[in-house]
Structure 1
Amino acid sequence: MQSSQEKDNQPINSTVNKQQSSIRNAMYKSIYNNDIEQIKRITRLFDFDPHEEISSPGNKWCPIHYSCYLNKPQSLEYFIALSYRKYKNNFQDIINIQTKDGYTPVMIVALSNSIQSLQILFKYGGIDFSQKFDKNKTIFELIQKYSNDQFKEQFNILYAKNNCVEILPINSLDLEKFPALETLMDQENMQKELNISQKKQLKELLLNGQRNPCCICLSELGYIKYTICCGQPMHESCKPTEKQKCPLCSRQAFQLISEILYPERALIL
Structure 2
Amino acid sequence: MNKGTLYLIPNTLGGSSDTTPLSCIIPESSGQITASLDYFIAENAKSARAHLKRISEIHPLKKPLQQIRMAELNVRTDKAAFPELLAPLLEGQDAGLISEAGVPAVADPGAGLVRLAHEKGIAVKPLVGPSSLLLALMASGLNGQSFAFNGYLPTDSEQRQRRIRSLEERSRHEKQTQIFIETPYRNEALLKAFCTACRPGTLLCIATDLTLAGESVRTLPVSSWKKRLEKGQIPDFQRKPSVFLFLADK
Query: Greater RCO between the two (CA within 8 Å, min separation 6)?
Result: 2
- Which has a greater percent of strand? 2
Q: Same fold (TM over 0.5)?
A: no
* Range class of TM-score, shorter chain: under 0.3
Q: What is the TM-score of this pair, normalised by structure 1? A: 0.22
Q: What is the TM-score of this pair, normalised by structure 2? A: 0.23
